Amino acid sequence: MKALVVYFSRNGQSSRLAREIAKRCHADLDVIRELHEHDGWRARWRSGWHALVRAAPPIRHPTRNPARYDLVIIGAPVWKLGLAPPVRSYVQQFGAQFKQVAFFCAEGGSSDERVFTALGRACGKRPIATFTVDRKHLPPAAHIEGMSDFLHGMHLQ
Whole-number pLDDT of residue 43: 64
Whole-number pLDDT of residue 55: 65
Closest alpha carbon to 71 in 24, 119, 120, 27: 27
| pLDDT above 70 for 125 | yes
Whole-number pLDDT of residue 77: 83
Whole-number pLDDT of residue 109: 58
For the stretch 33-82, pLDDT in tens is: 987 666 666 666 566 655 655 666 778 888 999 999 999 999 988 766 67
**Cα(46)–Cα(41) distance, rounded to whole angstroms?**
8
Whole-number pLDDT of residue 110: 57
Whole-number pLDDT of residue 112: 77
CA atoms within 13 A on the CB side of 32: 31
For the stretch 84-106, pLDDT in tens is: 888 999 999 999 999 999 999 88
For the stretch 17-32, pLDDT in tens is: 899 999 999 999 999 9
Whole-number pLDDT of residue 28: 97
pLDDT bucket at 11, cuts 50 / 70 / 90: confident
On whether the CB atoms of residues 88 and 118 are closer than 8 A, the answer is: yes
Closest alpha carbon to 16 in 137, 154, 152: 137
Output the DSSP codes for 48-108.
Answer: HHHHHTT----BPPPSS-GGG-SEEEEEEEEETTEE-HHHHHHHHHHGGG-SSEEEEEES-
